[in-house]
Structure 1
Amino acid sequence: MISIFKVFNPLNVLWLAILMFILRIGYIAHVPDKLEFTFVEPFARLLVPVSYEYAFSPTANVFWAGVLVLAQALLLNYLVNHFNLLGRPTFLPSLMYVTLTALFAPFMVLSAPLICNFLVIWMLFKLFSFYKSDDAKSTAYDVGMIVAIGSIIYLPYIFLFLSIWIALIVFKPFNWREWVSGILGYLTIFFFFAVFYYLNNRLGGFSHIWAPLGSKFPNRININYYNYLVLIPVLLILVLYFFKLQQNYYKSYVQVRKSFQLLFVIFLIGSLSFYIKAEFNLNHFLLCAVPAAVFFSYYFINANVKWMYESLYLLLLISIIYFQFNTF
């Protein structure tokens, strides 16, 4: 499987669609009777003045989620090849993204974090362009607006604002105007949002939008650890990725090294920003799928022992399908 996707062949799109169906077949067989889909935060509900939460049947919900995942996989693949992050054209990023978005049942349905992954990919196009940009003020402003839009869809996305400043540190010499541009971009969207609140006589509650940001980081989360055994091959691949990256780090171009630093920061932000939501939901970690897919791709494209990397990926596939049918 890995050998097929290592080559940049347009026919891999067909294999990708087939694999996506196979990875979701266990969930489709046990799909719940009702699936709720909410793609804006409660404070932005007035922007969508119709009832849409159960507009899709469960089967349609899973189908459209798969369509979005496939589109995002192809966009991510284009991003990685455009900036030459893996050293050669390949279809591995799309394969890894489709695989990672099937790890858990909440990943396979329509959700706000899934929608936000379009914004994550869009942001990465902008942030990676800092490296060759003489003046990044307009780009930082654009990314600030993207983060604001993402915050309206899914509030924890607000933490990705930090990635703008970190990207400026990584890619550019310090320029305070560029740092302020990101803030202005974010404030622009929420200025118009405040006007919308005012026109609907709700301006008094505008400041409550950010109240969840004051939530304390939880000391404990109640989860069934048996359901997370699927992460064992994921963690193993991540460890192997870090070893490969360490071996080849100084052999890579400066832009590639800096890009992987930024991806790691985004991965950490996505991992740690779950706590401001009242209820812990696994679909939050879809925000980590984009950088994780690039990490996985880096390992597999640089792995030399075929039986080992093919077996490792096969183990991951089997684990995903097995735990879809066995939820303990």
Structure 2
Amino acid sequence: MINFFKKLSPFNVLWLVVVLIGLRTGYLVNAPAKAGSMFMGPFLSLWLPAGYSAISPTLNVFLAAVMVLAQALLLNHLVNHFNLLGKPSFLPALMFIALSSLFTPFLLLSPPLICNFLVIWMLFKLINFYKSKDAKSTAFDLGMIIALGTLLYLPFVFLFLAVWIGLVIFRSFDWREWIAAVIGFITIFFFLAVYYYLENNLVHFADIWLPLATRFPQNINTNYYNYLLIIPVVVILTLCLIKLQQNFYKSYIQVRKSLQLLLIVFVITLLSFCVKAAFQLPHFLLCAVPASVFFAYYFLNAKRKWFYEALFGLLLLMIVYFQFNNF
């Protein structure tokens, strides 16, 4: 399967759809009568229509799958556009679809899933820092993107660090670019505060930030069988880091800087779950974008076909197996 997606063929889009459906079949067969409600912040709850959580699990999974496919193709375009892997392929899209199906809660609509569109948009702009003569407007746009993501899902605010780190990686220091990102972020919340004021509801504007005052989650309540699914993920990520270390200085400067940025984004999204008082597994969908690029990097550069095909096949089999078996 891996070798098949190493080619940039338009027919691979059809096979991506097949994989996408196959990785959701187990959940649909054992789907509950009602899907779990989508967790959201105080702002998003104001705009969702009444009864949004009453949609059927099938429709919920279908809408989420359409989003995942769109995000996979966008991510694949980003990787190939900036030549991050050295060779165009459909591997980033395949890896994103696999990682976005890792756990059952990933298959449903959630704010982190929606925010992945913003993560990909951010990466386009961040990597463009490298060739930009004047990055102030781009930094301003990135600040606004972070603000929009924060309204959808509060832990997204920590990705503001990725903007400043991106400026450090790609640009020489210019304080105006750093301030431009802050102004872009503040602009969204300024207009939001005006809206609350006009609605005589300014007191509740501060409610958006209440989760920042919560303590670090003391308990992570999740099915222990989920840890088994993490094993092949950790193995592949470890092999990828080893491969990256071996080939790091063989890559172009822009590629090296971009991979460093992706690693930073991965770490930030991985650790930012602590903002939510209650542990929410869908949060880690935010990690899928950078992790997919690293997965694709490993599988594109791995030499032993039998090993990497077996490793990826094992990951897919475990995903499907745990969907059919609810322990």
TM-score range, shorter chain: over 0.9
Q: Using the TM superposition, name which of 131-140 and 270-279 deviates more.
A: 270-279
Letter in structure 1 aligned against 2:176: R
Where does 1:274-289 land on structure 2 (aligned, <5 Å)? 274-289=273-288
Where does 1:244-323 land on structure 2 (aligned, <5 Å)? 244-323=243-322
Q: Deviations over 1:251-285 (max 9, x none)?
A: 00111111111111111111111122232111000
Change (3 A) 1:17 1:101: same
Q: Distance in 2 between matches of 1:144 and 1:91?
A: 30
**Matched residue, 2:231:** 232
Q: Distance in 2 between matches of 1:78 and 1:190?
A: 31
Contact 1:39 1:153 in 2 (8 A): no
CA displacement at 1:36 relative to structure 2: 4.3
CA displacement at 1:40 relative to structure 2: 5.1
Q: Indicate whether 1:223 and 2:231 are aligned.
A: no
Q: Indicate whether 1:104 and 2:94 are aligned.
A: no
TM-score, normalisation: structure 2: 0.97
Q: Indicate whether 1:18 and 2:18 are aligned.
A: yes
Q: Distance in 2 between matches of 1:221 and 1:56?
A: 28
**Matched residue, 2:180:** 181
Change (3 A) 1:165 1:248: same
Q: Distance in 1 between matches of 2:52 and 2:21?
A: 24
Q: Indicate whether 1:197 and 2:200 are aligned.
A: no
Change (3 A) 1:189 1:234: same
Contact 1:40 1:152 in 2 (8 A): no
Q: Distance in 2 between matches of 1:225 and 1:36?
A: 20
Secondary structure, in 3 states, of the residue corresponding to 2:23?
helix
Q: Distance in 1 between matches of 2:51 and 2:141?
A: 29
Q: Distance in 1 between matches of 2:10 and 2:305?
A: 23
Q: Distance in 2 between matches of 1:40 and 1:183?
A: 24
Change (3 A) 1:220 1:35: closer
Q: Distance in 2 between matches of 1:26 and 1:303?
A: 30
Change (3 A) 1:116 1:153: same
Change (3 A) 1:88 1:322: same
Letter in structure 2 aligned against 1:238: L
Q: Deviations over 1:155-205 (max 9, x none)?
A: 111111111000000000110000000010011100110011111211123
**Matched residue, 2:132:** 133
Q: Using the TM superposition, name which of 139-148 and 272-281 deviates more.
A: 272-281
Q: Deviations over 1:107-132 (max 9, x none)?
A: 00111110000000000000000000
CA displacement at 1:39 relative to structure 2: 7.5
Q: Distance in 2 between matches of 1:59 and 1:150?
A: 26
**Matched residue, 1:29:** 29
Contact 1:36 1:54 in 2 (8 A): yes
**Matched residue, 2:68:** 69
CA displacement at 1:31 relative to structure 2: 1.2
**Matched residue, 2:83:** 84
Letter in structure 2 aligned against 1:310: E
Q: Distance in 2 between matches of 1:105 and 1:123?
A: 27
Contact 1:76 1:290 in 2 (8 A): yes
Q: Using the TM superposition, name which of 58-67 and 317-326 deviates more.
A: 317-326
Contact 2:96 2:292 in 1 (8 A): yes
Letter in structure 1 aligned against 2:57: P
Q: Indicate whether 1:45 and 2:48 are aligned.
A: no
Contact 1:128 1:259 in 2 (8 A): yes
Identity in percent: 61
**Matched residue, 2:92:** 93
Secondary structure, in 3 states, of the residue corresponding to 1:42?
coil
Q: Distance in 2 between matches of 1:83 and 1:55?
A: 41
Q: Distance in 2 between matches of 1:153 and 1:43?
A: 7
Change (3 A) 1:39 1:126: farther
Secondary structure, in 3 states, of the residue corresponding to 2:89?
coil
Letter in structure 1 aligned against 2:24: R
Q: Using the TM superposition, name which of 168-177 and 52-61 deviates more.
A: 52-61
**Matched residue, 1:59:** 58
Contact 1:39 1:154 in 2 (8 A): no
CA displacement at 1:222 relative to structure 2: 3.4
CA displacement at 1:55 relative to structure 2: 5.1
Contact 1:39 1:115 in 2 (8 A): no
